[in-house]
Every structure is written in C-alpha cells, then in structure tokens.
Amino acid sequence: MKKQTLTFGLIALMGIFTLTGCEKEEEMKSVEDMTIAEYAISDANFSILVQALTKAELVNVLNGTGNFTVFAPTNAAFTALFTELGVSGIDALSKEALTPILLYHVLGTEAKASMISTGYYSTLSPSQGSFLSLKVDVASGVKLNKTANVTATDVDVKNGVIHVIDKVLLPQTVVDIALNNDSFSILVQAVVKADLVNVLNGTGPFTIFAPTNAAFEALFATLGITGIADLTAAQLVPILTYHVVSGNVLSSQLQAGNVETLNGTISVTLSPAPAINSTSKIIAVDVQGSNGVVHVIDQVLLP
C-alpha cells in the first residue's frame, strides 16, 4: 500500500513539473514568435486595446498571416479618448463604431521605423470604396495626423511590426485632412472665413482639389494683396466651391474633359501631366478621408 501511494505521489509530482515546464515555455516565448494580437495580450499597457479588438472581432485578423504595421495606442491614450467622447469605456462603443477606428491604426504592409518617411499611408480602414489615408510626419519625432506621437518603435513580431502611440487616431474628414497638413494652412483660413467648415464636414462625399500654401501665395501676388484677410467671405465662397466636385472621385476614375464643380465647370486634362484648366497641375492624389478624397494642386482655380 505504501509502495502504491509513493508511486501515485511521484506521478503527481511529475505532472506538476510538466505543467510548470509548459508554463515557463509559454512565458519564455520570444516576441518574434508572437503575433500582433498575442503581443498586445501579453503587455498590460494594451489591455484596453485588446478589449476593443475583441469587441470588434479583429483579434483573429491580427493573429493571422501577413505583414502588418500597427500603431498601437496605450491604455492612457484610450482613457483620453473616452474623456474626449464623454463615455465611460469600451462598453459604451459599438462594434460598428470601433471597427473603422481600429483598422485606421493598421497598415497592410510592414513598415519599420527606418522605412517610414513623411507622407500619406493607406490604412486598412475602408471608406467610400477606398481606404482611409494616414498622415505621417518625421521632421522632429514621428507624428501621426499632427496629433499622435510615436513613443516606441519596431516591436518586431511574427506577422508584422508594432509602433506605440500616445493618442487614439480617429478617421479624418476632408476638413481634418487640411487641418492636419501645414501645407494647407491658408486653405484652412479661407474655408473658415467663408464659413464652409460645416458644409465640408458633412456627409458628402466630396472630391477636393486642394491648393497648397504656395498656390495661394502666388494668387495673392497676382491680385496684389497680402493674404486671406484682404478677401471677403463673399469673394472666397465662389472660389472655394469651384474646387469641390460632388462624389468620391479617385485619380484612377478621373477622365479628360469637363467636370462640374459646386460652382461651374472645370476642364481636366491627363496628358502630358494631369492638370485642371490647363494651368493647375495635380501634384498629389488620393488622400482619402471619411467623407471624400483630396487631390493636391499647385495653383488656385478661379471661376
């Protein structure tokens, strides 16, 4: 009887050692062997992000094969968002509300810090038949949409890379796109003075041919004025609405010929280079917002 009891004791002890060994092996799993979702689950700083991914049913996506780049907001970033929105937490947000927000933090390719430069990147958040654009600036530290700071980079995991950010990114309207790009600061002044912010923040969709600051400076020189302050709202409204087309027209959908704006007709030419009214060149395309798309032009259009 004693021998039998001793045998059972040894078997139980071996079982404990086996379980402990498995647990240690799991604990020792390297970051490189984890998926994005597994890493987020393993780090207490991302517990709210994990709650959000779970509610939006996106855990399997970030456990899947592929090479993703995730800009991961910390718990503090989510807490700040809840305060901004006036909600108590993830429970107050629906799956439908969370999904586009979370996918707005994900690129479909792996982009380590050394591969990222200033410009627009296409996310996995769908909008208007395209995907939302994310603005990245690397001049002095990495910023996203001019507001979120990248605080840690290059967490290299099995199916991509994670960069840590201090603010939750929200999908941008065409107005937000202009606000978050210093090259459009004069355009923003004009839109505000013309009282068109609420219009362009509306449902849309809109296609905006957006003149840069340099384009506006050239216009001021031509008109012999110093800036937006010398133009009235009544003068600005017809100019600005002449840059807006109804619908979400991507560069691949542009056709040569006349196009109706909200204030008359513009002429689009595609060769030898894309241009509007033969003089204003289209210098960047397909910056996708939640309610429309922005194409950048180098000359202000006059009706």
- Which of 16-20, 144-148, 182-186 is the least confident region? 16-20
What's the one-letter identity of residue 41?
I
Average pLDDT over residues 174-185: 97
Average pLDDT over residues 215-244: 98
- Give me the chain's average pLDDT, please: 92
d(CA 181, CA 146): 7
Closest CA to 70 of 100, 118, 34, 102: 102
DSSP secondary structure letter of residue 158:
T
All structural domains of the chain, each given as residue ranges with its CATH number in brackets, are: 29-165 (2.30.180.10), 174-297 (2.30.180.10)
Average pLDDT over residues 271-284: 96
Q: Identify the pLDDT of residue 5.
A: 41
Band the pLDDT of 28: cuts 50, 70, 90: low
Does this model's pTM top 0.85? My answer is yes
For strands 143-144 and 148-157, give the pairing.
antiparallel
d(CA 122, CA 254): 20
Closest CA to 289 of 207, 223, 227, 226: 207
Band the pLDDT of 19: cuts 50, 70, 90: very low
How are strands ordered across the β-sheet holding 206-211? 244-246, 206-211, 292-297, 280-289, 275-276, 264-269, 257-261
Band the pLDDT of 7: cuts 50, 70, 90: very low
d(CA 45, CA 54): 16
> Tokens 């929200």 correspond to what residue?
170
Average pLDDT over residues 123-146: 96
Over residues 109-129, the pLDDT tens digits come to 999 999 999 999 999 999 999
Count the residues in the chain.
303
Question: Any residues with CB less than 8 A from the CB of 147 and at least 6 apart, and which?
Answer: 167, 180
What tokens does 223 get? 């008109």
d(CA 281, CA 229): 26
Q: Identify the pLDDT of residue 123.
A: 98
